Amino acid sequence: MNCYVYILYSEKRSKHYVGQTADVNKRLSRHNQGLVPSTKGGKPWKIILQLKVSNRNEAIILENKIKKRGAKRFIEDNQFGV
């Protein structure tokens, strides 16, 4: 099953959030409804990057790699035009 690693951005908090899911739109909706404790204060969140991977294990590995580097630096390092 395909999974996605996504990076959200909150203008309100000037913060990025990195996560992984099988359904990005459903997950974004949960973030923006305030159902995710760690992102509750940053509403509204917008998706600035989503990367498709082939399984959840790959998603977890990539998510951790991005978190270790930092979302902003990961985007800059990989020249994603966001």
In this structure, is residue 82 part of a structural domain?
A: no
pLDDT for the residue numbered 44: 97
User: What is the average pLDDT score of the chain?
Assistant: 94
Which residues of the chain are under the pLDDT cut of 70? 81-82
Q: Does residue 68 belong to any structural domain of this protein? A: yes
In a domain, 64, yes or no: yes
The total number of structural domains that make up the chain: 1
Cis amide linkage into residue 37, ω under 30° from 0: no
Q: Which domain range does residue 35 map to?
A: 3-77
Confirm whether 28 is domain-assigned: yes
Query: What pLDDT score does 55 carry?
Result: 97
CATH number of domain containing 65: 3.40.1440.10
Q: Is 34 left (phi over 0), alpha (psi -120 to 50) or beta?
A: left
Query: Residues 31-45: pLDDT tens digits?
Result: 999 999 999 999 999
